[in-house]
Amino acid sequence: MILSTTDAVSGRTIVETIGLVRGSSVRSAHVGRDVLAKLKNLVGGEVTEYTKLLAESREQALDRMVEEARARGADAIVGLRFMSSDIGDDAAEMLAYGTAVRLG
């Protein structure tokens, strides 16, 4: 699966636009990870516990989006974007979305 943040794939022609595909992941930090992150906030610096959590969420959302595109017969996704949002106080959603296409 070719993934592109642009609306085209260099050197290839889009022969069919299949449509919107998306994948999401909602996660929350477990208590131990959350406590470590709050302690890190006191001294400053990167909160590696949350960095890892967001990276895992991004990969899962991306995998789910690609799975949907493959099921619909796509061989590429263009216009790929990520979005995140809070869900309550303890969880966040990571959304990956784009346009599934067939290339010539």
Task: Identify the CATH number of the domain in which residue 85 sits.
Answer: 3.30.110.70
Helix (H) or strand (E) holding 96: strand 91-103
Q: How confident is the model at residue 23 (pLDDT cuts 50, 70, 90)?
A: very high
- Average model confidence (pLDDT) across the chain: 88
Domain membership of residue 9 as a residue range:
2-103
Q: How confident is the model at residue 103 (pLDDT cuts 50, 70, 90)?
A: very high
Here the tokens at position 22 are 């998306």
CA–CA gap between residue 53 and residue 4 (Å, rounded):
24
CA–CA gap between residue 46 and residue 32 (Å, rounded):
17
Residue 35 scores a pLDDT above 70: no
Domain count across the chain: 1
Least confident stretch, 24-28, 30-34, 87-91? 30-34
Residue 17 scores a pLDDT above 60: yes
Q: How confident is the model at residue 28 (pLDDT cuts 50, 70, 90)?
A: confident
